[in-house]
């Protein structure tokens, strides 16, 4: 699973800019804030989704591949793909959860 990284030619990474980018790809976007120590065990979703990070560090394991996302990063997770996630460090993760229904 490849990490998509914010293109600095698009300007600074902001919540609004990242939301607009995901919405332009046809996704519906919701914001979540996950406190340090938050862990999501193995699970799956019935929709195609993207996990994007506005701030903080978010570790995801998708199909056995571990990735760490930081500000401006996002990863596509196809429907029914088993994955897990955890907040890394002492800073909350501000995340944009984007789904395609």
Predicted local distance difference test score (pLDDT) of residue 101:
73
Q: What tokens appear for 59 in the block? A: 């570790």
Domain spans of the chain, in order of start? 8-100
pLDDT given at position 93: 98
**Which 3 state secondary structure label does DSSP give 83?**
strand
- Model confidence at 86, pLDDT cuts 50, 70, 90, reads very high
Query: pLDDT tens across 27-85, in order?
Result: 999 999 999 999 999 999 999 999 999 999 999 999 899 999 999 999 999 999 999 99
User: Rounded to whole angstroms, how far apart are CA atoms 100 and 36?
Assistant: 28
3-state class (DSSP) for residue 52: strand
Mean pLDDT of 81-95: 97
Whether pLDDT at 1 is above 90:
no
Query: DSSP H helical segments within the chain, as ranges?
Result: 15-24
**CATH topology (fold) of 8-100:** Jelly Rolls (2.60.120)
3-class state of residue 15 by DSSP: helix
């Amino acid at each position: 699973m490849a990490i998509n990284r914010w293109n600095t030619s698009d300007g600074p990474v902001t919540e609004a800019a990242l939301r607009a980018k995901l919405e332009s790809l046809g996704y519906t976007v919701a914001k979540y804030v996950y406190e340090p120590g938050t862990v999501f065990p193995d699970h799956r979703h019935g929709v195609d989704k993207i996990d994007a990070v506005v701030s903080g560090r978010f570790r995801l394991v998708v199909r056995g591949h571990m990735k760490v996302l930081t500000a401006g990063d996002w990863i596509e997770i196809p429907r029914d793909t088993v994955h897990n996630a955890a907040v890394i460090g002492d800073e909350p993760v501000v995340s944009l959860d984007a789904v395609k229904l």
